[in-house]
Amino acid sequence: MTLLYFAQAKRVTGLPSETLSPAAPLSADQLWSEILRRHPDLALLRPVVRLARNGEFAAPDALFLPGDEIALIPPVSGG
């Protein structure tokens, strides 16, 4: 599972991406628990960051599989 960090999430983690190797599929809550274990400062962003799986926004009840690409999408403003 590859995690991609953008904008504020990238600044907080100091990483553009990282790899997780879960033994089983993860719910969104389980995925967030693992992300926050690694990067506690992302807790402030959790309420506004959306998860995308394999290029599409993930539903709240989505399961994230070991081979998925997961993007943390922060809010964006238009101009």
DSSP β-ladder status, 26-27 and 63-64: antiparallel
**Model confidence pLDDT, tens digit, residues 25-64:** 999 999 999 999 999 999 999 999 999 999 999 998 999 9
**Domains in the chain: boundaries:** 2-55
Residues 7-13 have a mean pLDDT of 94
Higher pLDDT among residues 14 and 60, named by residue:
14
Instruction: Identify the H or E element spanning 33.
Output: helix 28-38
Instruction: Identify the H or E element spanning 11.
Output: helix 7-13
pLDDT at position 63, please? 96
pLDDT at position 39, please? 97
